[in-house]
């Protein structure tokens, strides 16, 4: 079974398999990135980095429910200088590492990208779509076509690395925004970020559980929406898509790839299936491909389209 070739080429980055650790999950330290790589991920994404250190929201920041997870971590991160120290010698990780970069204005994105430029990142991801952190993403108006174009263009000027723009599933005109990113020089679209925000109320306490009250919804609840977004994007843009949202099995991953994704991101799946979810998903993809007569990931990308 292990003979099946799962390798993919994503914007010139060679991955041994399409299962990527999504940003915000376990990407706090190099040691954890390495552990995720050892557990089968084809690439890993660090937790988003801003110019200044951020403590994020108070607890509770992450809570689970029947169909996934609700989180409002609030972009806690040590800031670009500490991040540059933490993520040095990235070849130790063993797989390509993607830097997730955030800012409250386009100049911040540029400063962080420049601050991390000495480290061996394989790509830059810019999430313009966080639904629960004031000053960033949707709450800062970064999810419009114009803002997406401006920020992507600014980052394009200061890096030769592939740029992945991560979009929100909330916005009906996701394809318009993706095109704006493509026009500004983005190399791929990561679709999608968490949706919502949503809320979970503890009825005995009569209060929302998350300290920020609302948070991004991920996991099973997000998957059909993410698949639809990727399906629409595949028709609208030429650059590759990294499909993210509720993937925890090989069948989920194949579904996302058939919708049009060239690779998939896994986040909440770490909760539902453990840190070795990457290896499990890849084994399941390989088994399905073998049973169904496919010999490459490339041959199933977009297969669900007419």
CB of 265 to other proteins, least distance (A): 14
- The answer to the question of residue 214 lying near other proteins (CB under 8 A) is no
Q: Give the dihedral sign, CA 232/155/90/61.
A: negative
- The answer to the question of residue 64 lying near other proteins (CB under 8 A) is yes
Sequence-separated (6 or more) residues with CB below 8 Å from residue 203 = none
- Which of 9, 12, 14, 58 touches other proteins by CB under 8 A? 58
CB of 63 to other proteins, least distance (A): 6
What Å distances lie between residue 248 and 121, 169, 171, 183, CA to CA? 26, 19, 24, 32
d(CA 132, CA 145): 20
For residues 64 and 153, which CB has a smaller minimum distance to other proteins in the complex? 64
- Which of 211, 225, 228, 302 touches other proteins by CB under 8 A? 211
Residue positions annotated with a catalytic role: 130
Task: Report yes or no: 6 and 262 within 8 Å, Cβ to Cβ.
Answer: no
Q: Give the dihedral sign, CA 242/90/185/216.
A: positive
Instruction: Please report, as residue ranges, which positions from 263 to 292 form the binding site for other proteins (by CB under 8 A).
Output: 267-268, 270-271, 274-275
Window of 2-10, 30-38, 103-111, 165-173 that interacts with other proteins by CB under 8 A = 30-38
How many residues touch other proteins under the rule CB under 8 A: the total is 45
- The answer to the question of residue 202 lying near other proteins (CB under 8 A) is yes
Task: Report yes or no: 170 and 40 within 8 Å, Cβ to Cβ.
Answer: no
CB of 297 to other proteins, least distance (A): 26
Task: Report yes or no: 111 and 157 within 8 Å, Cβ to Cβ.
Answer: no
Q: How many Cβ atoms sit within 10 Å of the Cβ of residue 151?
A: 26
Q: In sequence order, what DSSP letters do the residues of 216-282 get, joined into one string?
A: EEESGGGHHHHHHHHHHHHHH-SS-EEEESS--SHHHHHHHHHHT-SEEEESTHHHHH-TTHHHHHH
For residues 11 and 32, which CB has a smaller minimum distance to other proteins in the complex? 32
CB of 220 to other proteins, least distance (A): 14
- Which of 1, 2, 55, 118 touches other proteins by CB under 8 A? 55
Q: Is 261 exposed, middle or buried (0-12, 13-18, 19+ CB in 10 A)?
A: buried
What single-letter DSSP state applies at residue 163? E
- Which of 63, 147, 214, 304 touches other proteins by CB under 8 A? 63
- Which of 60, 94, 135, 302 touches other proteins by CB under 8 A? 60
Residues at the contact surface with other proteins, assessed by CB under 8 A: 24-29, 31-32, 34-35, 47, 53-56, 58-65, 69, 71, 73, 76-79, 82, 86, 200, 202, 204-205, 207, 209, 211, 267-268, 270-271, 274-275
């Amino acid at each position: 079974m292990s003979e099946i070739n799962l390798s993919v080429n994503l914007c010139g980055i060679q991955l041994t398999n399409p299962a990527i650790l999504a940003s915000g999950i376990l990407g706090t330290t190099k040691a954890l990135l390495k552990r995720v790589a050892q557990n089968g991920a084809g690439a890993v994404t660090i937790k988003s980095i801003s110019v200044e250190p951020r403590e994020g929201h108070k607890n509770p920041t992450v809570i689970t429910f029947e169909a996934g997870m609700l989180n409002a971590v609030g972009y806690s991160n040590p800031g670009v200088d500490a991040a540059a120290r933490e993520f040095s010698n990235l070849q130790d990780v063993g797989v390509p590492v993607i830097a997730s970069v955030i800012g409250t204005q386009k100049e911040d994105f540029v400063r962080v990208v420049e601050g991390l430029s000495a480290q061996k990142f394989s790509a830059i991801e810019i999430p313009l779509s966080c639904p629960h952190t004031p000053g960033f993403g949707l709450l800062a108006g970064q999810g419009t076509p114009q803002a997406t174009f401006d920020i992507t263009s600014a980052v394009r000027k200061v890096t030769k690395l592939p740029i992945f723009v991560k979009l929100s599933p909330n916005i009906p005109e996701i394809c318009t925004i993706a095109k704006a990113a493509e026009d500004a020089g983005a190399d791929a679209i990561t679709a999608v970020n968490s949706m919502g925000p949503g809320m979970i109320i503890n009825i005995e306490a009569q209060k929302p559980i998350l300290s920020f009250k609302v948070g991004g919804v991920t996991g099973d609840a997000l998957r059909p929406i993410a698949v639809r977004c990727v399906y629409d994007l595949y028709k609208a843009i030429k650059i590759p898509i990294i499909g993210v949202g509720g993937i925890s099995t090989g069948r989920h991953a194949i579904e996302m790839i058939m919708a049009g994704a060239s690779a998939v991101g896994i986040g909440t799946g770490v909760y539902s299936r453990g840190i070795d979810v990457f290896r499990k998903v890849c084994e399941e993809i390989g088994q399905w491909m073998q049973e169904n007569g496919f010999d490459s990931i490339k041959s199933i990308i977009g297969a669900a389209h007419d």
